[in-house]
Amino acid sequence: MGMTMTQKILAAHAGLPEVSAGQLIEADLDLVLGNDITSPVAIHEMEKMKTEGVFHQDKIALVMDHFVPNKDIKSAEHVKEVREFACKHCISNFYDVGEMGIEHALLPEKGLVVAGDAVIGADSHTCTYGALGAFSTGVGSTDMAAGMATGKAWFKVPSAMKFNLIGKPAPFISGKDIILYIIGQIGVDGALYQSMEFVGEGVSYLSMDDRFTIANMAIEAGGKNGIFPVDDKALAYIKEHSGREPKVYEADPDAEYTAEITIDLSKLRPTVSFPHLPENTKPVEEAKEIEIDQVVIGSCTNGRISDLEIAAKILEGKKVRKGLRVIIIPATQQIYLEAMEKGYLRTFVEAGAVVSTPTCGPCLGGYMGILASGEKCVSTTNRNFVGRMGAVDSEIYLASPAVAAASALTGHITDPAEV
């Protein structure tokens, strides 16, 4: 029986000629990732192991992004602990204030992940790097600790679902609309512990930013990882950002899938996920006239330059609705600079929005945009669970940057084609 892309990567990293779904393996790791919330726990666990040090100082990335710049004493103490650990072990990829970014946008930008890699991260959205043709998945802090110490991790080889993307997306249809539509179709556990493989001629119409967004939210369908084939766009991105040589794997023609789903991108509408699960999706026309109090454009899902570009085009020369709070968060320092050079930041400020330093911030209810009781927010983030962004009776509507920006102008959820 043939293997999927993910299975081939895992077989290579386990030193095996082949693997099959359900098989338990120990695999070598190319990168271990942690942030300011999960790394302190991993550091404590690693200390219990009484190891001499880390397996490789260049293959660990510690990114301070969730509560950075620190919002309180506790978050400052967490970062201090990680900072001291990074210094002690000479961790080359430690990113703090001034050179930080939201981890899942920063690592590809820094060229730390390439096609064919096996990556674990103590953050559920580590699956983002599947856009580059890597196997990447979120783990707990204990697994992160073991990974930092040994450079290895245990996996149960996942089965896979194939998503065949056909057709060309219409204007304003982005990767966010595509993945929200998919999650709405299969549910938040529809791909539970499975690899979500995105293939088909429709992939050629997707930018790398679109692919990062789709792979990022594979976890919201329960997926172990999301992964794309390595085409010319992916190779060009890797060449631009990394000096490492990618390893390209392709699924075998006789690879086995638990399901194959075809999605015609040309028929998709801007999609909104209603509270309180990402699967609760509806086309934008069914969300119209829902009044909102806040808009957030950013996060590891949609804080990249193309996201800011579409928002700036919609907001240019206009004003956000009076009384509405609009928060823009570039995902990395480099994206911030590029947005500044292109005039996007001026556009946002003149429109009445605020622009933040790169941070996860409001996405997980951290800071810089906490919702009060009964408030509603349109957000380009990835989760809309009860209390995710503040009060337990607040509401989060997940949407693309285009929908979010259009809604910022009207004060209610709005089709971007109508502004």
Q: Are 132 and 168 members of one domain? A: yes
Q: Are 339 and 254 members of one domain? A: no
**Cα separation, 107 vs 92, whole angstroms:** 13
Beta bridge partners of 261: 163
Instruction: Look at residue 34 and tell me if it is in a domain.
Output: yes
pLDDT at position 142, please? 94
- Note if the bond before 275 is cis, omega within 30 degrees: no
Q: Are 256 and 131 members of one domain? A: yes
**Cα separation, 313 vs 310, whole angstroms:** 5
Number of domains in the chain: 2
Task: For 119-164, write each residue's pLDDT tens digit.
Answer: 999 999 999 999 999 999 999 999 999 999 999 999 999 999 999 9
Tokens matching residue 179: 């993945």
Tell me which residue range forms the domain holding 369. 272-414
Q: Are 23 and 148 members of one domain? A: yes
Instruction: Look at residue 107 and tell me if it is in a domain.
Output: yes
Tokens matching residue 254: 């006789």
Banded model confidence at residue 341, pLDDT cuts 50, 70, 90? very high
CATH number assigned to the domain comprising residue 360: 3.30.499.10
The model's pTM is 0.95
Domain boundary among 211, 240, 263: 263
Task: For 269-295, write each residue's pLDDT tens digit.
Answer: 999 999 999 999 999 999 988 999 999
Instruction: Look at residue 383 and tell me if it is in a domain.
Output: yes
DSSP single-letter state for residue 332:
B
Q: Are 259 and 283 members of one domain? A: no
Domain boundary among 263, 282, 312: 263
Q: Are 162 and 64 members of one domain? A: yes
Q: Rg of the chain over CA atoms, in angstroms?
A: 20
> What is the average pLDDT score of the chain?
96
Q: Are 173 and 309 members of one domain? A: no
- State residue 362 phi and psi, 5-degree precision: -70, -15
**Cα separation, 112 vs 110, whole angstroms:** 6
Q: Are 215 and 102 members of one domain? A: yes
Q: Are 241 and 343 members of one domain? A: no
Instruction: Look at residue 419 and tell me if it is in a domain.
Output: no
Beta bridge partners of 61: 33, 93
Task: For 168-202, write each residue's pLDDT tens digit.
Answer: 999 999 999 999 999 999 999 999 999 999 999 99
pLDDT at position 191, please? 94
**Cα separation, 80 vs 383, whole angstroms:** 28
